[in-house]
Amino acid sequence: MSLISPAARAALEAWLAGQKALRGAPENTVDAYARDVTGFLAFITEHKGEAQGIKPLMKLSVSDMRSWMAFTRGQGIGPRSMARKLSAVKSFLRWLSEREGAEISAVLAARAPRFQNKLPRPLAEDAARTMIDTIELQSLKAWVATRDMAVLTLLYGCGLRISEALGLDGRDAPLPDVLRIVGKGGKERVIPVIPAARDAVARYLDLCPWPKEPGAPLFRGVRGGRLAPRAVQKTMARARMQLGLPASATPHAMRHSFATHLLSAGGDLRAIQELLGHASLSTTQTYTSVDQARLMEVYDKAHPKAG
């Protein structure tokens, strides 16, 4: 941050602290905001020929914003990432303008390039079940094998994010019929825990060599610390290679599968939104597109008049 003026640096740090404390943004989100806005401020310094304080930042033009976007896209940044960076920068500048009492509506009107949202890529129902069975075969240590199976059962059976499953502590076990989860942005939701998930976790705990302590991680790594998402991802990668599944068969795909299979079985979209912890129904509605796409795929393959 050496190219950024002390005033701009202090403002950025204050904004990031607010994002974390007041809005409950996760650590990795705050880190991404810091990188995006720092890159923007460094570019503006080079673009203007000197470090920009608060007042110059309030006088940026649409042309300045377009120059930054063109420079960023020229570095090979795709439309989706560009939109994320612009969102972070506009959020920071909006906060700064409100604090300074400045009017920068023209700058805030800058638009990112359009991109098409990617549809979630769930596993088929039989593939999801087979994945859970196969991941148990990836370790010679029985407690590690049952641990990995328990994690995937929670992802698929309850729709948890990998961070939410691995964030559970000893105090959460034995798993109740209903579990309170604090997800993104500190949003709390209540989800039912299916018997298969409760049984899988209980089986893991019976074999786990580490004591179950209220404040200790529920899912432990081989050295006793909290199990890292990367370890689950690597184990699942080995399993999907054995099963011939695509690279999209990741831990997060188990959560996608949970939502898609519920919807296919007639689940209510609003209820699925609550179970997933989505802030917006539009996010959950992407699974409707997945279901329709799959229906059309079946139609094209099976209907005698298709094609």
Which position among 287, 299, 303, 305 bears the catalytic label?
A: 287
Q: How many CA atoms lie within 13 A of 37 on its CB side?
A: 26
Do 155 and 147 form a contact (C-beta atoms < 8 A)? no
Annotation marks residue 287 as catalytic: yes
Annotation marks residue 255 as catalytic: yes
Do 96 and 234 form a contact (C-beta atoms < 8 A)? no
Q: If DSSP codes are grouped into helix, strand and coil, which group holds residue 179?
A: strand
Which position among 85, 90, 256, 278 bears the catalytic label?
A: 278
Do 249 and 236 form a contact (C-beta atoms < 8 A)? yes
Which position among 85, 240, 255, 261 bears the catalytic label?
A: 255
Strand duo 188-192 + 178-182: pairing: antiparallel
Tokens (6 digits) for 9: 């640096």
Annotation marks residue 303 as catalytic: no
Which position among 80, 121, 252, 294 bears the catalytic label?
A: 252
Annotation marks residue 256 as catalytic: no
Tokens (6 digits) for 138: 């990836």
* 188: β partners: 182
Which position among 161, 204, 223, 303 bears the catalytic label?
A: 161
CA dihedral sign, ordered 44, 49, 55, 58 = negative
Annotation marks residue 252 as catalytic: yes
Which position among 184, 203, 226, 294 bears the catalytic label?
A: 184
Do 179 and 172 form a contact (C-beta atoms < 8 A)? yes
Q: Which residue blocks in the chain are alpha helix, DSSP H? A: 6-21, 27-48, 54-57, 62-74, 79-100, 105-108, 125-135, 142-158, 162-166, 195-207, 229-243, 251-264, 269-276, 281-302
**φ, ψ at 228 (rounded to 5°):** -90, 145
Q: Which residues are designated catalytic? A: 161, 184, 252, 255, 278, 287
